[in-house]
Amino acid sequence: MAIGRSRVIVGGVCFLGILLWLSAGALSGAPLTIWDLNSSVTVDPNTDDGMYGWLVDGTGHLTKQWFWYRIGPDGPETPINELGDLEVKFTDVNQDPNVETVALRYYNDDVEVQMKFTLTGSTAGSGRADINESVSIKNLTDANMDFHFFQYCDFDLNGTSDDANVAVTGGNTARQNDEGLVWASETVTTPQPDHHEVDFFADTLSSLNDGNTTTLSDAAGPIGPGNLTWAFQWDFTIGAGDSVPIGKDKMIVPEPAVGGLLGAGAALLVVRRRRRARRRSRG
């Protein structure tokens, strides 16, 4: 089902707490960017481009994150942006000059999916940022609903398509590494995904778009190096009028070993300087 209409609500200190509704034309073709401190990320709620362009200290790390759904046991899966109507709300949650939260509400006569993304940046040069994500899926019908929800992630860390490795551990945590440089990770806090998959681009994405029924393979890895992706799947039976939540958090952090090596290198430099100073004093 194509999107019938879209609305945007913008709120927060930047707008003196006033909620502003924009027309569908104002949103059409206009991706939405949120930002905080050293980081920004863009969301296109009208297409399956979804979330992309996650910049941390000016370096891009995310090519694509988006969601697909299926109602019933058989395919195909459909991008969430094709569910129905759309409402969008911006919020400034920490009352700084930036708008760091965007909430999306997709709905039709049968189901409503709400999702919220909150970006938390860090100090300039830290290489760190975090996105907290929450999803709520509500059955608007008077019968049980067999609902399948998929999240797909394609990180190209440091703006390059090839990374060192990716793996899923515990069935709910994905970690991807660009060796010696940076980590991307995501942990699903609730509920545990029913399936997961790590793969090379674009196998998982193709399976979500091929018109057939998809069940993720539970391949956990690690795999790599290469152009790497990961995905999670939830299989719900949602009672009439009931809702189910999904909570998760993703972050970009510098490679821990780099910090350790830098610290060790600095310490070694101090030792060498002290030794040179002692030699001079003896001479």
Q: pLDDT of 28-52, one tens digit each?
A: 447 999 999 999 999 999 999 999 9
Residue 234: the pLDDT is 98
Q: Which of 140, 135, 147 is nearest to 191 (CA)?
A: 135
Which pLDDT value is given to residue 179? Answer: 81
Strand, helix or coil for residue 183 = strand
How much is the average pLDDT of 187-196? 98
Strands (E), the chain: 6-10, 20-22, 32-36, 39-44, 50-56, 59-60, 62-71, 78-79, 85-91, 101-107, 111-120, 129-139, 145-155, 165-169, 173-178, 182-190, 195-200, 228-238, 243-254
Residue 266 falls inside a structural domain: no
Residue 223 resides in a domain: yes
- Domain range enclosing 54: 6-257
- pLDDT of 91 reads 77
Return the pLDDT at 183. 96
167, β-bridge pairs: 175
267 assigned to some structural domain: no
Confidence of residue 98 (pLDDT cuts 50, 70, 90): confident
pLDDT at residue 135 greater than cutoff 50:
yes
Indicate the number of domains in the chain. Answer: 1
Report the share of the chain in percent with pLDDT over 90. Answer: 74
- Residue 282 counted as domain residue: no
Query: Does residue 47 lie within any of the structural domains?
Result: yes
* pLDDT given for residue 93 in this prediction: 63
The torsion angles phi and psi of 158, rounded to 5 degrees, stand at 55, 25
What's the pLDDT at 41? Answer: 97
Q: Is residue 167 part of a domain?
A: yes
pLDDT of 94 strictly over 80: no
Residue 174 located in a structural domain: yes
Interatomic CA distance for residues 207 and 121, integer angstroms: 33
CATH code (residue 35): 2.70.98.40
Percent of the chain predicted with pLDDT > 70? 78
